Structure 1
Amino acid sequence: GFIIFWSNHQMREPVYYVLRRMLKLYPTHLITAIMFVAVVWQFPWERTAAWLPNFLLIHTWVPGWSQLGGLNVPSWSLAAELLFYVSFPFFLPLVRKIPTHRLMASIGALFAAIVVLHLAYYLFTPGYKGIDNTFVPLLFDMDVSPPYDVHAAPAWFLLPEHGVDIGYYLSYTFPLSRLPEFFLGVLGARAVIEGVWRNTKVWWPMVALVAAVALTWVLPVNFKMSVPMLLPVLAVVCTLAVRDMEGRSGPFMTSKVAIWGGNTSFALYLVQFPVMAALQKWVIAGGEYGFAGWLGFALLALVLSQVIADLIFRFVDDPAMKAFGRYHRARTGKKRISAPRPRV
Structure 2
Amino acid sequence: MSGESTATRPHAPPETGRARPSLPSLTGARWWAAFAVFVLHALVFLPVYPFQKSELFRQLHQVIPMQLGAAGVTFFFVLSGFIIYWSFTPGSSVPRFYWRRVLKIYPTHLAAAAVFILAASVPLHRAVVWVPNLLLVHTWVPKWTTVGGLNVPAWSLGSEILFYLCFPLLLPLILRIGSARLWWWVGGLLAFILVLHTVYYLGTPGPKGIENAFAPRLVPGEDSPYYELHASQAWFRQADIPVPQAYWLSYYFPLSRLPEFFLGVLAGRLVLEGRWRLTDIRLPLVALVIAYLATWVVPVNYKMSALLIGPMVAVVATLAARDLAGAGGLNSTRTMVWFGKISYAFYLIQFPVMVLITRWFIGGKQFGVLGWLGFAALSLAASTAAAALIFHWLDEPLMRAFAGRRTRARGAPAAVKTQATLP
TM-score (norm 1): 0.91
What's the offset of the Cα at 1:336? 6.0
| CA–CA separation in structure 2 for the residues paired with 1:11 and 1:216 | 42
- How big is the shift at 1:126? 1.1
Contact map agreement 1:67 1:164 (CA 8 A) in 2: no
Contact map agreement 1:329 1:336 (CA 8 A) in 2: no
Partner of 2:178: 99
SS at 2:403's partner residue?
A: helix
Q: In the superposition, relative to structure 1, how do residues 50 and 154 fare at CA in structure 2: closer, same or farther (>3 Å)?
A: same
85, 109, 112: which one pairs with 1:5? 85
- Structure 1 spans left out of the alignment, 5+ residues: none
Residues 72 and 274 of structure 1 are in contact (CA less than 8 Å); yes or no, is this contact kept in structure 2? Answer: yes
User: What are structure 2's unaligned runs of at least 5 residues?
Assistant: 1-80, 419-423
Mapped pair 1:21 → 2:101: yes
Residue 322 of structure 2 aligns with which residue? 243
Separation in 1, partners of 2:102, 2:207:
35
CA change 1:335–1:26 in 2 (3 A) is: farther
Match status 1:210 vs 2:289? yes
User: In 2, distance between residues paired with 1:71 and 1:84?
Assistant: 22
1:302 aligns with 2:380: yes
Q: CA deviation at 1:115?
A: 0.7
1:114 corresponding residue in structure 2: 193
Deviation at 1:139, TM superposition (A): 5.6
Distance 1:65 1:134, change over 3 A: closer
SS at 1:112 equivalent: helix
Q: Could you say which structure has the greater relative contact order, defined with CA pairs below 8 angstroms and 6 or more residues apart? A: 2
User: What CA deviation, in whole Å up to 9, does each residue of 1:253-297 have, x standing for no partner?
Assistant: 332211211110100000000011111122112333232221121
Q: How does 1:56-205 map to 2 (within 5 A)?
A: 56-64=135-143, 67=146, 70-137=149-216, 144-205=223-284
SS at match of 2:194: helix
Does structure 2 conserve the Cα–Cα contact (< 8 Å) formed by 1:136 and 1:150? no
Q: CA deviation at 1:93?
A: 0.6
Partner of 1:257: 335
1:312 counterpart residue number: 390
Q: How many residues align?
A: 335
Distance 1:196 1:96 in 2: 15
RMSD: 2.2
d(CA) in 2 for partners of 1:233, 1:44: 39
Alignment check: 8 A CA contact 2:147 2:155 kept: no
1:39 matched to 2:124? The reply is: no
Q: 2:371 aligns with which of 277, 288, 293?
A: 293
Equivalent residues in 2 for 1:327-338, closer than 5 Å: 337-338=415-416
Determine the C-alpha separation between the residues in 2 that align with 1:143 and 1:249. 49
Amino acid aligned to 2:375: F
Cα distance, 1:309–1:11 mapped onto 2, change above 3 Å: farther
**Corresponding residue SS for 2:342:** helix
Structure 1 residue 144, shift from structure 2 partner: 4.2
Contact 2:271-2:321 at 8 Å conserved across structures: yes
Residue identity over aligned pairs, in percent, reads 49
Q: CA deviation at 1:64?
A: 2.0
Taking the aligned partners of 2:221 and 2:267, their CA distance within structure 1 comes to: 42
Distance (Å, rounded) in 2 between the aligned partners of 1:141 and 1:107: 49
- Does structure 2 conserve the Cα–Cα contact (< 8 Å) formed by 1:49 and 1:68? no
- TM-score normalised by structure 2 residue count: 0.75
